[in-house]
Chains A and B, each alone.
Chain A
C-alpha cells in the first residue's frame, strides 16, 4: 500500500507546487514586471517562451528515456518516454497558439513565416504528431517500444538541424531577446521570466507524473483483470 501511495504523494506534491508557482508567476508577470515599450502585449513573452522551453525540455527528456530504453533495456523507460513526448506535444501546441497570438498583436498577422521559433515548432509539432500515429499503428510489445524510441531519438536531432535549416531559409524578423552579451532585459523582467520558467517546468513535471501514474495503474489493472479472468 505504501508503495502505491508514494508516487501519488510525489505527484500531488508536485501539482501543488506547480499551482503555487503558476500563481506567483502570473502575479509577478502582471504586477511586478514593468510594462516595456511594446506595451501590455509583451506580457505574453513570460508565458510563451517558458512554455516553448518546457516543450523542448520534455522532448529532450523523452529522447533521454528512449536512449535509456534502447541502451539499458530498462523496463518502463518506454512508457516514460511516451508520456514525456505526450506532454511535449501539449506544450508544443500551446507554444504555437501563444506564439500565434503574440505575432498577431505585435505584427498584425496570426502566422509569420519569418518568425523562426514558430516555424521550427511547426516542423517539430508535425514530427511528434506522427509519433503518436506510428506508435498506435504498431502492436504493443518490444518492437513498438524500440521503434518509438528510435523515432524519439530522431526528434532531438531534428530540432537543431531544423533550426539551422530555418535560419538558412529565413530573413530575420523574430526579436532576439537573448544574445551572446547576456539577456537584454531589466532585472525585474529577467526575474519574472525565471519564475515563469520554473513554474512551467513544475507544471510539466506534475502533469508527467500524473499521466505516468494513470498509465501505470491502467496496466496494473489490466494485468489484474487478466489474472482474475484466467
Chain B
C-alpha cells in the first residue's frame, strides 16, 4: 500500500508492534480500568441506579484513555526519535492519524476488558452503549493525539495533558452518557458523530503547526 494511507498504516503498525514487544501501556491500561471498576463497586452504595453505574463507566473510560494518551509519544521521546519522524518524507498529518489509530486500537482493546467487567459487576450492556463507546473513542483519540503532541512540547508533560483534554472532552461525555441512559439515543449518537467529524478535521489540519519548529 502506498501513498498517504500507506504511510499512516506503516506508522500505526510501528506503534502497535512496539507495544506488542515492550508491553508497557496496554497491561497498565487494562489493570487501571479493572481497579477503577472495583473501586466504583465500593463507591456506589447499594440502591444506586444503573444510570449512576453507567456514568461511572464513562469516567473509567475517560481516565483510562487519558492514561494511554500520556504514552502516545513516549516511544519517540524516550529514544529522541521525534525529529527523525518529522524528517521522514511523510505528510505531518499522517503522523497524527497514525497516532490516533494506534491510540484507538489500545483503547478498544482495553474497553473489551472494561465492558466485560462492567457487564459482570454492574449492569446489562445495550447496543446504544456500544455505539456510544465506538463514537466517543474516535473523538477522544483524535483530540487526544493532538493535545498529547502539545503536551510533549510543554515542560509539564504528564501534568498538563489532563488539563488540556478534560475541558475539550466534556461534550463527548455529555453525548456518551446521554446515549447510554436516554430512551432515545439517536440525537446523542448524532451529536457524538458531529463532534468526531468537526474535531477530527481541525486536529488533522492543525497538527502540522503543533509539531513544526
B73 at the interface (CB under 8 A from A): no
In the complex formed, the residue of A with least CB distance to B191 is A168
User: CB distance B209 to A150 under 8 Å?
Assistant: yes
Asked if A154 contacts B168 (CB within 8 A), the reply is yes
Contact B153 A147 (CB under 8 A): yes
What is the interface residue range for chain A against chain B? 20 to 34
**Residues of chain B contacted by A134 (CB below 8 angstroms):** 150, 154, 160, 163-164
How far apart are the CA atoms of A150 and B206 in the complex, in Å?
6
Question: In the bound complex, do residue B174 and residue A142 qualify as a contact, i.e. CB atoms below 8 Å apart?
Answer: no
> Across the interface, do A137 and B154 meet the contact criterion of CB distance under 8 Å?
yes
Per DSSP, chain B at the interface is helix
- Pairwise interchain contact B195-A126, C-beta atoms closer than 8 A: no
Residue numbers in A under 8 Å from B210 (CB-CB): 146-147, 150
- Chain B residue with Cβ nearest A124: B167
Contact call B174/A169, Cβ cutoff below 8 A: yes
Q: A101 contacts the other chain (Cβ, under 8 Å)?
A: no
Instruction: Indicate with 1 or 0, residue by residue over A107-145, a CB within 8 angstroms of chain B CB atoms.
Output: 000000000000000011011001001100111001110
Pick the residue among B150, B198, B213 that contacts A151 (CB under 8 A).
B150
8 Å CB contact of A137 from B155, B168, B187, B195: B155
**Is A166 positioned at the interface, with any CB of B under 8 Å from its CB?**
yes
Contact of B175 with A by CB under 8 A: yes
* Interface majority SS (helix, strand, loop, mixed), chain A: helix
Which A residues touch B106, using CB under 8 A? none
**Pair A126/B167 contact, Cβ less than 8 Å:** yes
- Please indicate the chain A residues that have their CB under 8 angstroms from the CB of B81 in the complex: none
Alpha-carbon gap, A146 to B146, bound state (A): 13
Q: Does B188 contact A (CB under 8 A)?
A: yes
A137-B156 contact given A123-B167, A168-B187, CB 8 Å threshold: yes
Contacts of B206 in A (CB 8 A): 70, 150, 153-154
B156 CB → nearest A CB, Å: 5
CB of A138 within 8 A of CB of B174, answer no
Q: Contact check, A168 vs B178: say whether CB atoms are below 8 A apart.
A: yes
Q: Does A164 contact B (CB under 8 A)?
A: yes
Q: Give chain B nearest CB distance to A131 CB in angstroms.
A: 9
Chain B 191-213 near chain A by CB (<8 Å), digits 1 or 0: 10011001100100010011011
Closest chain A CB from B128 CB (angstroms) = 15
Q: Which of B163, B164, B167, B174 contacts A168 (CB 8 A)?
A: B174
CB distance from B55 to the nearest CB of A (A): 12
Tally of chain B residues near chain A (CB < 8 A): 30
A126 to B169, CA, bound (A): 12
Docked-complex contact B191 and A164, CB < 8 angstroms = yes
CB of A158 closer than 8 Å to a CB of B? yes
- In the complex, A137 Cα to B158 Cα: how many Å? 12
By a CB distance below 8 angstroms, the chain A residues around B195 are 161
| Sampled A-B contacts (6; CB under 8 Å) | A123-B170, A143-B212, A157-B202, A158-B171, A161-B195, A164-B191
Interface residue A162 (Cβ < 8 Å from any Cβ of B): yes
Contact: B168 with A165, CB < 8 Å?
no
Query: What is the minimal beta-carbon distance from B173 to any residue of chain A, in angstroms?
Result: 9
Q: Give the residue of B150, B163, B167, B175 whose beta carbon is less than 8 angstroms from that of A158.
A: B167
The residue among B174, B175, B191, B198 with the most chain A CB atoms within 10 A of its own CB is B174
- Per the bound structure, the CA–CA distance linking A154 and B149 in Å amounts to 14
Contact indicator per residue, chain B 145-185, by CB within 8 Å of chain A (1) or not (0): 01000100111100010011011101100110010000000
Known contacts A127-B168, A161-B171, A165-B170, A133 near B160 by CB under 8 Å: yes
Neighbouring B residues of A166 by C-beta, 8 Å: 174
